[in-house]
């Protein structure tokens, strides 16, 4: 979700805490990407942010940025039409992954009709870059492009294998976004991503046309819906870009993921389990003066966990 900034109160605390955040039923995590005139903003501090939950300002329990580790799960569409684009990505992967820092880690999952894990989360960046090329030809995942199903599998894998781990979490899908979802609407996918504390980012190749909503008066079968990674990225605070230069785009995306800010606060007392609550993040007056054209991207809300 993208908002223009505005003058709001922010909490006062040290600028960048030791990255010991643990997700839990009492905490809401919000990863925020800040740009000004299209350029990443990397010098904001804790006091520059204000977070609202259903319209009420929240005290931040955690703030992290540069020093916080990042876990990225590459989710690669290995259908036949994607092979040339993925080969280019593999050839440039080492250059892009070199933007990561000690403590960051990468996993690789491929998908077609089904998903397969090629590499679990691993902090050897050079080896991860090499494995991308091997992943393209090492798995039989069936004919088809089951995008929503793949994203849910990626979120579940991330939730299971990073439980209790600190740092930001991003699923980076590379796909042509040409697929039909069967009985797996976008809202269920968004819930899975929220449950995993994961942001979805996307590099969309080929036609890269975002599906249009059904025309008024036209029936749309809810059991068969077109894939829309643009929507999934928007709702979780990620970025989706159209590109046929996948190597360059991989570098751009990793730089963007690395530059996000991490904020967290406690779920407000009395919030009913299962209820949806809207999140809004803005900048303080002083930050807005420094970056008058700033835009913020972050998750649009969350469902209160059950007891």
Q: Which of 12, 32, 27 is nearest to 298 (CA)?
A: 32
Question: Both 196 and 284 in a single domain?
Answer: no
Q: Which of 301, 304, 279 is nearest to 49 (CA)?
A: 279
pTM: 0.90
Give the pLDDT confidence of 218-259 residue by residue, as tens digits.
888 888 999 999 999 999 999 999 999 999 999 999 999 999
Question: Both 225 and 152 in a single domain?
Answer: yes
Which residues make Cβ contacts (< 8 Å) with residue 191, sequence separation at least 6?
303
As for how many domains the chain has, the answer is 2
Question: Both 9 and 157 in a single domain?
Answer: no
Question: Both 123 and 230 in a single domain?
Answer: yes
CATH number, domain at 163? 3.40.50.410
Residues 90 and 17: their CA atoms lie apart, in Å, by: 35
Give the pLDDT confidence of 262-307 residue by residue, as tens digits.
999 999 999 999 999 999 999 999 999 999 999 999 999 999 987 5
With vertex at residue 64, the alpha carbon angle to CA 62 and CA 69, rounded to the nearest 5 degrees, is 125
Contact assessment for residue 189 and residue 227, using Cβ atoms and an 8 Å cutoff: no
Question: Both 51 and 185 in a single domain?
Answer: no
């Amino acid at each position: 979700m993208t908002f223009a900034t505005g003058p709001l109160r922010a909490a006062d605390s040290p600028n960048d805490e030791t990255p010991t955040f643990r997700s839990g039923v009492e905490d809401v995590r919000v990863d925020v990407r800040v740009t000004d005139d299209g350029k990443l903003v990397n010098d904001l501090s804790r006091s520059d942010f204000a977070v609202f939950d259903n319209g009420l300002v929240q005290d931040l329990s955690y703030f992290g940025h540069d020093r916080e580790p990042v876990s990225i799960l590459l989710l690669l569409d290995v259908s036949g039409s994607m092979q040339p684009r993925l080969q280019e990505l593999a050839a440039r992967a080492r250059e892009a992954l070199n933007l990561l820092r000690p403590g960051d880690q990468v996993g690789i999952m491929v998908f077609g009709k089904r998903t397969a894990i090629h590499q679990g989360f691993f902090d050897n960046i050079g080896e991860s870059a090499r494995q991308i090329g091997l992943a393209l030809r090492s798995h039989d995942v069936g004919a088809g492009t089951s995008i929503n199903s793949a994203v849910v599998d990626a979120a579940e894998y991330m939730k299971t294998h990073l439980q209790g781990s600190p740092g930001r979490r991003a699923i980076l899908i590379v796909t042509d976004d040409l697929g039909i979802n069967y009985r797996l609407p976008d809202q269920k996918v968004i819930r899975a991503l929220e449950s995993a504390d994961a942001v979805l980012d996307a590099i969309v190749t080929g036609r890269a046309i975002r599906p249009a909503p059904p025309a008024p008066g036209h029936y749309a079968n809810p059991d068969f819906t077109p894939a829309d990674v643009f929507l999934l990225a928007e709702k979780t605070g990620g970025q989706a870009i159209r590109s046929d230069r996948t190597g360059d785009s991989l570098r751009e995306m990793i730089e963007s993921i690395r530059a996000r800010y991490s904020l967290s606060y406690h779920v407000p007392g009395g919030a009913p389990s299962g209820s949806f609550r809207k999140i809004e993040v803005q900048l303080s007056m002083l930050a807005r003066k420094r970056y008058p054209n700033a835009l913020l991207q972050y998750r649009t809300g969350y469902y209160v966990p059950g007891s």
